[in-house]
A = this chain, B = another copy of it.
């Protein structure tokens, strides 16, 4: 059997998630792509940096904005292994991300297709195109393993 290969940006996001787990951080990774090239990567580092805002998406978005010299990431795509929380969904809107690909759904903490559904309110200034499920198996397995090991 040949498995459909994940697109390289989601593979890189999963590698970022594994790097987070190696640091004892919840395994979530993200990359920002512009014109087909990865311009920024990030993973959860809230404990490492003592920064409650250092989720994978915010780390990658801030880095991409620094690289482009602009607060707007117009035309960029974000690949992240887990459904973004309200903070990260808000940042995605502010950054004008064109398309969001997320892996595993997060009914407990997600705010795209669950909970606050940040993009679904008329007040939301920018709605990215949203594609879910890409790499969800691998992304979910990383999270389950991480939290099982911490409980045992």
Contact = CB atoms under 8 A, between A and B. Distances in A.
Interface string A111-152: 100111110011111000000000000000000000000000
A51 interface: yes
Interface in A52-90: 52-54, 58, 61-62, 65-66, 68-73, 85-90
Nearest to A46: B71
A50 interface: yes
A24 interface: no
Q: Which size class do A's interface residues fall under?
A: 35 or more
A38 interface: no
Question: How many copies of this chain does one complex carry?
Answer: 2
A110 to B, nearest CB: 8
Contacts of A111: 86, 90, 116, 118, 123
Give the 7 A-B CB pairs with smallest separation, nearest first. Answer: A87-B90, A86-B90, A115-B123, A52-B94, A116-B116, A52-B95, A115-B121
